[in-house]
Amino acid sequence: MLGTFTDRGLLHVAGVAVFSRRALPLAAWTNGLELAGIKADTDSASLILETGVDKQWRYASYRRTKAANEEAEQWEAAKKETDGMHFLAIQEDPDAPSCAGFWMLRDYEPSTSI
């Protein structure tokens, strides 16, 4: 189960792995952004990349199905179990020996106190 401590005391962190033949240029472009987090938006069936304080980009879309929406909701729930911790990995293919880019991210709730 993502986002929970296992019997070995390990923490599973939710994440997104992007596979692209253009992994290196994509990772370079992504590195130029002030990455804040990734959110699954079931209304638009998209993964939203949050950058800076107030910018959002549609990073990827998925086919809107009940199963896909449930997976998106489970992914968001897994992030909450780790206090918003999640990751983005970019690599050429699933069998690549290394990542072209890797970012640990954390969702933060805006502060309501002044």
pLDDT score of 108: 78
Whether 77 is covered by a domain: the verdict is yes
pLDDT score of 94: 95
Whether 3 is covered by a domain: the verdict is no
d(CA 47, CA 5): 25
Q: For the residues 71-98, what does the mean pLDDT come to? A: 94
- Residue 14, SS3? strand
Whether 95 is covered by a domain: the verdict is yes
Domain count, the chain: 1
**Structural domain that includes position 19:** 14-106
> Do strands 14-19 and 85-91 pair parallel, antiparallel, or not at all (unpaired)?
parallel
Whether 35 is covered by a domain: the verdict is yes
pLDDT score of 3: 43
Whether 25 is covered by a domain: the verdict is yes
User: Each residue of 28-50: pLDDT tens digit?
Assistant: 999 999 999 999 999 999 999 99
Higher pLDDT, 52 or 7: 52
What H or E segment, with its residue span, contains residue 93?
none
d(CA 12, CA 77): 12
Whether 5 is covered by a domain: the verdict is no
Q: Is the pLDDT of residue 1 over 90?
A: no
Sheet holding 85-91, edge to edge: 14-19, 85-91, 101-106
Whether 98 is covered by a domain: the verdict is yes
